[in-house]
Amino acid sequence: MVNTTKQISARARARAASSHFYELEKQREEVQGRYFDSMDAVDKIYTQRDRAIAAAADRAELAASGAREDADAAIRDLLQLNVSRQEIAQRLDCTLMDVRRAIDAGTGGPGRAGTPSDAAAHREGSEPADVPAPALQ
pLDDT single digits (tens) 60-95 = 999 999 999 999 999 999 999 999 999 999 999 999
Does 33 reside within a domain? yes
Q: Which residue has the higher pLDDT, 58 or 109?
A: 58
pLDDT at position 113 is 41
Does 104 reside within a domain? yes
Does 133 reside within a domain? no
pLDDT at position 110 is 57
**Average pLDDT in the 5-13 region?**
88
- Say how many domains are in the chain: 1
Buried b (16+ CB within 10 A) or exposed e, 72-106: bbebbebbeeebebeebbeebeeeeebbbbbbbbb
- C-alpha R_g of the chain: 37
Does 135 reside within a domain? no
Does 131 reside within a domain? no
Please name the amino acid found at residue 74. Answer: A
pLDDT tens digit sequence for 95-134: 999 999 999 987 776 544 444 444 334 333 434 444 454 4
Does 72 reside within a domain? yes
pTM higher than the cut 0.95: no
pLDDT at position 85 is 95
For 16, the domain range is: 2-123
> What does the DSSP 8-state code read for residue 112?
S
pLDDT at position 107 is 77
Q: Which residue has the higher pLDDT, 33 or 6?
A: 33
Specify the range with the lowest mean pLDDT, choosing from 10-14, 53-57, 118-122: 118-122
Does 42 reside within a domain? yes
Does 132 reside within a domain? no
